[in-house]
Structure formats: C-alpha cells, structure tokens
Amino acid sequence: MKYVCRVSIRSCEDMKRTSSIYRYQTATNPYFGATIGRVCNRIANGHFMLNGQDIQVSRNFNNRHQLHGGFLGFDKMHWQVLEANGDGLTLQHCSPAGHEGYPGQVTATVKYTLTEDNCLHVRMQAKTTKTTIVNMTNHSYFNLAGHGAGREAMLEHSIMIKADQITETDSDSIPTGRLINVAGTLFDLNEPTQLGERLQQLLNGYDDNYCVKLNDNNMTTIARAYHQKSGRWLEIASNQPGVQFYTSNYMPDVNKGEIPLKGKEDAKYVKQGSFCLETQKYPDAVNHSNFPSIILNPNEQYNHDVIYKFGICRSGTSSCI
C-alpha cells in the first residue's frame, strides 16, 4: 500500500501531487513529494571511487550522469509500512546490493510525524551491509497560495535561505568543487527576497545547492517562505549542511505550447509554478573531498531530520518572514 502525507492550511493544499498513484512511478514524474535515494541530486558521469574500487552506477540524466538514485530510485519503490497511527507513519525499503550499481544492501526508513504546532517532521535513516554512499532527501513541491495556483502566485512568494555560499556547477548542473560567495549576487537570499523580482533577472530560475551554516546542535532553521496574499508561511529546519533551492524550471512551459502536468482535482502544474527546498549533503559529494562526506559504513547509521513548520500571518502584520 502506498501512502501520501498531506498538510493543509485553511483547507488548501500547498504540496503538489499527481492525480494517480501510478503516475508517481512514471519516468516523467518530477519526483512529487518523493523520498529520494540512495543518493539525491547528481553524480558526475555516474562514477566514483570507493575504498579503491571503481564504481559505475546507472546514468539516467542526459545519458551521462546519475540523478536522484537512477532509473528506479527510492521514489519508484513501494515501501513497507512498519507503523501507522493517528499522527504518523513509518515506512521501510530494502535496496538490494547492486541496485542501480550501488554496493551494499541498504535498509532505509522514513518516519513522518504531524505535531500539534503545525509541523511535519520527516526522519530519514539508513544502514548498509557494505560501505556505500547515501544522501537522501524529501522532494516536496510547495506553492503556499495553493497547489494549483500556478506561476503567477508562486512569483508572489518571498524566500529567505540562511547561506553565504552555493556550490558552483557546470552546464549539466554538476558541481565543479568550488564554493561561490553569494553576497552581492542574485543568489543571495539571506534577507527576504521577492521571487518575482529575482526571476525577471534570472530567467532560468534557481536550481542550486545552498551551503547552510548549522548550529552546534545541528538542527537549524535554514529557510523561510511567505505568501503575503494568503498569509501562509513555511519554515524549514534541518540537520543537513545543504539545501537545493529549485523553482520547477523543468516543468512544462505553457509559453512554448507544452502541456501542463495534471494534478489532483485537475490542477495544472507548470514551469516555475512551485518551489522545492531539498535538504541534503552537497551534490556529487563522493567526487569532491572538500564536500561533507556521504560515505556510509556498515557500523554506522545515516540520520537526516527535516521539519516543515506551517503557519498563517496575523492580519495587519507587515512581515512574517
């Protein structure tokens, strides 16, 4: 059985999802709300060295690189229900050794918990039988005006991400290994920033890993989003050193005659009609020794926590971000 977790504010869904369970498993599904693994984001040339061994994983991105775990990543799997109750759900998936080219059998669990203070807590954990790499994420899409509100409403959002650097990438969005300071650039989101104004200048949108600074206890508020017309806001806290800010640039472009994706209640999902804030370690980290490590050994446990806190701004408040 496949479960979908939703969060509603004023009975309006803010998280995008498809109209059919089976559409989640198609190659064209843009990972709506998915748990991504074993490794989220990109691995250059689908290749890396691990303990002196040459590892080649599947290449499902431009026939050159791996993206989001390969052709049949965690997002395409039916997960086993370990526990389900009134406020939470725990799921498990066992990824066999060799799947998509990865060494070791990995057992991953994801626990979703809804709290009384309007939070969705997602805890991702994994163990392996052999040294491998793991870098999971949650790939939810948000539009605080409503899941089918479209591009115009998405551009009304203000965004803030607490990060002074991003990972530099090439034309295939593969990290070069360099970190770029964002101060004075269009990528500086340390202060509340109107998305509409930025995307007029950054026509291809955002698809960048922000290097966040974690507190000593690791769990850190890293990003906030606010939609003034509805009053809705979202705050994200995580224990991961990176967050991929993505403005749905690869969704159908109606200005080019492309057909929108069909969502729940016949909602139409289009280019730059939503945004993602995907907490993670840095992309292609296994190929860059200066990036936080994503190597997981048999005697270790992968731990990834992210909290999505939702709220509504009180009437008359000038800013909620």
Question: Which among 13, 100, 235, 278 is annotated as catalytic?
Answer: 278
Q: What pLDDT shows up at residue 320?
A: 72
140 is in an annotated binding site: yes
Closest CA to 185 of 173, 33, 170, 168: 168
Q: How far out from the chain centre does Cα 309 lie?
A: 16
Tell me which of 54-68, 70-84, 264-278, 304-318 is least confident.
304-318
Q: Tell me the average pLDDT across 251-280.
A: 94
CA distance 48 to 288: 10
Active site residue 278: yes
Instruction: Say what the pLDDT of residue 13 is.
Output: 57
Cα dihedral across residues 44, 205, 31, 88: positive or negative: positive
Average pLDDT over residues 245-273: 94
Task: Provide the terminal-to-terminal Cα distance of the chain, rounded to the nearest Å.
Answer: 38
pLDDT band at 317, cuts 50/70/90? Answer: low
Q: Tens of pLDDT along 91-112?
A: 999 999 999 999 999 999 999 9
State the Cα–Cα distance between residues 232 and 228, nearest whole angstrom: 7
- Find out whether 171 is annotated in a ligand binding site: no
The question of whether 116 is a catalytic residue gets the answer: no
The rounded radius of gyration (Å) of the Cα atoms in the chain is 19
Sign of CA dihedral 33, 308, 310, 228: negative
Active-site hit among 139, 157, 227, 304: 139
Q: What tokens were used for 155?
A: 């551009």
Q: How confident is the model at residue 265 (pLDDT cuts 50, 70, 90)?
A: confident
The CB density around residue 2, as the number of other CB atoms within 10 Å, is 12
SS3 50: strand
d(CA 293, CA 25) in angstroms, rounded, equals 29
- Is residue 313 scored above 70 in pLDDT? yes
β-pairing, 163-169 with 207-212?
antiparallel
Q: Which residue has the higher pLDDT, 203 or 76?
A: 76
- Domain annotation for the chain: domains and CATH numbers: 8-312 (2.70.98.10)
- Residue 5 pLDDT: 39
HEC sequence for 96-163:
CCCHHHCCCCEEEEEEEEECCCCEEEEEEEEEECCCEECECEEECCECCCCCCCHHHHHCCEEEEECE
Residue 3 has pLDDT above 60, yes or no: no
Q: How confident is the model at residue 7 (pLDDT cuts 50, 70, 90)?
A: very low
Cβ neighbour number for residue 265 with a 10 Å cutoff: 9
The pLDDT value given to residue 319: 61
pLDDT for the residue numbered 132: 99
Q: Rounded mean pLDDT of the chain? A: 92
User: Residue 8 has what pLDDT?
Assistant: 41
Examine the pLDDT at 18 and tell me if it is beyond 80.
no
Among 105, 119, 49, smallest CA distance to 308 is for 119
Q: Which helix (H) or strand (E) holds 13?
A: strand 12-13
Check: CB of residue 167 under 8 Å from CB of residue 211.
yes
224 assigned to a ligand binding site:
no
- Contact status, residue 261 vs residue 268, Cβ threshold 8 Å: yes
Percent of the chain at pLDDT > 70 equals 90
**Whether pLDDT at 252 is above 60:** yes
Band (pLDDT 50/70/90 cuts) for residue 20 is: low
> Is 31 part of any known ligand binding site?
no
Q: Please tell me what DSSP assigns to residue 246.
A: E
Which contiguous run of DSSP H or E holds residue 194? strand 193-194
Which pLDDT band holds residue 9 (cuts at 50, 70, 90)? Answer: very low
207 carries a ligand binding annotation: yes
Encode pLDDT of 21-79 as tens digits: 666 777 678 899 999 999 999 999 999 999 999 999 999 999 999 999 999 999 999 99
